[in-house]
Amino acid sequence: MFVTFEGIEGTGKTTQIGLLAEDLTRQGKRVAITREPGGSRIGRELRRILLSLETKDLCDRAELFLYLADRAQHVAEVVRPALADGMTVLCDRFTDSTVAYQGHGRGLSPDLLRQLNDTATGGLAPDLTIVLDIDPEIGLRRALSRNLETGAQVSEGRFEAESLAFHARVRQGYLALAAADPGRIRVVAADAAPREVFASVRAACQEAAARHG
C-alpha cells in the first residue's frame, strides 16, 4: 500500500509517519519511509536548492519543474521498487503538495499541475492520503521553532518565510483536494496531542487497507 502525508508546515507529519510505521511494523508489515523533496540521492540535491532561504531567484515555473524532477526520480528509484517488493510505503508529501503549493499557493493552473504530476509519476497514485489540517498561524509557529531548534532556519526556511496568506491558500487547496476526492484523501485535525491525532490516522489507514484488500 502507498500512503502519503500532506499538510502545511508544522502539522506534525514526521511524528505521525513514525507512529504509523511503528504500528504497521508491529503488525508484521515491512515499511519504507520516504519523502519529497529529497527521497533519492539526486532529490537530496534538488531539496537543498528548493528549501534554502538563499535560493532567492527561482521563478515559479522553475520551482515546479524541480519538484517534478525530484518526484520522477523518487518514484522510479524508490517508491515503485519498494511497492513491487511488497512494502508499505509511507511518503512525506507527494503530488498533492504540488497542487496545493504551486497551484493554490503560487497560482499555477491546477489542471496543468495534474497533467504534469501524472507525467512525473507515470500514473502512480497513493492508495490513501492523510491531510493533517491545522490553523496556519499555529503550524508556522511550530515550524519556525523546529527550524530554530535544528539550526535549519536558512537551509530549509524558504517556505516558512512565505506569508500567512500564502499558507492559508495552501491549506484551502488541501481542503478543496480532499472535498474533490474523498475516497482517497482523509482530513485529520492536527491540533490535538500526537497520540490523539494518531488514533484518527490509524483508523483511516485500517479502512484503506480493508478497501485495498
Q: Is 9 annotated as a binding residue?
A: yes
Among the residue ranges 78-86, 90-98, 189-197, 203-211, the one whose residues contact ligand TYD (CB under 6 A): 90-98
The CA-atom distances, in angstroms, between 114 and each of 90, 108, 153 are: 21, 11, 31
Q: Is 10 annotated as a binding residue?
A: yes
Residue at 37: amino acid letter: P
Q: Is 7 annotated as a binding residue?
A: yes
Q: Which residues fall within 8 angstroms of residue 115, CB to CB, at 6 or more apart? A: none
DSSP annotation of 28 reads: T
In 3D, which of 123, 93, 172 has the Cα closest to residue 114?
Answer: 123
Q: Which of 12, 36, 157, 173 binds ligand TYD (CB under 6 A)?
A: 36
Write down how long the chain is. 213
6 forms part of the interface with ligand TYD (CB under 6 A):
no
Helices (H), the chain: 13-26, 41-51, 60-74, 80-84, 95-97, 110-121, 136-150, 164-180, 194-212
5 forms part of the interface with ligand TYD (CB under 6 A):
no
Local structure of 92: helix, strand or coil: strand
93 forms part of the interface with ligand TYD (CB under 6 A):
yes
Of 36 and 133, the one with the shorter C-beta distance to ligand TYD is: 36
Scan residues 135-194 and list those touching ligand TYD (CB under 6 A): 143, 159
Among the residue ranges 83-91, 95-103, 126-134, 192-200, the one whose residues contact ligand TYD (CB under 6 A): 95-103
104 forms part of the interface with ligand TYD (CB under 6 A):
no
Is-contact 40 5, C-beta < 8 A? Answer: no
Q: Is 11 annotated as a binding residue?
A: yes
133 forms part of the interface with ligand TYD (CB under 6 A):
no
Q: Which of 12, 37, 126, 173 binds ligand TYD (CB under 6 A)?
A: 37
Binding-site residue numbers for ATP are 7-14
Using CB under 6 A, list all residues that contact ligand TYD.
9, 13, 36-37, 51, 67, 92-93, 97-98, 101-102, 143, 159
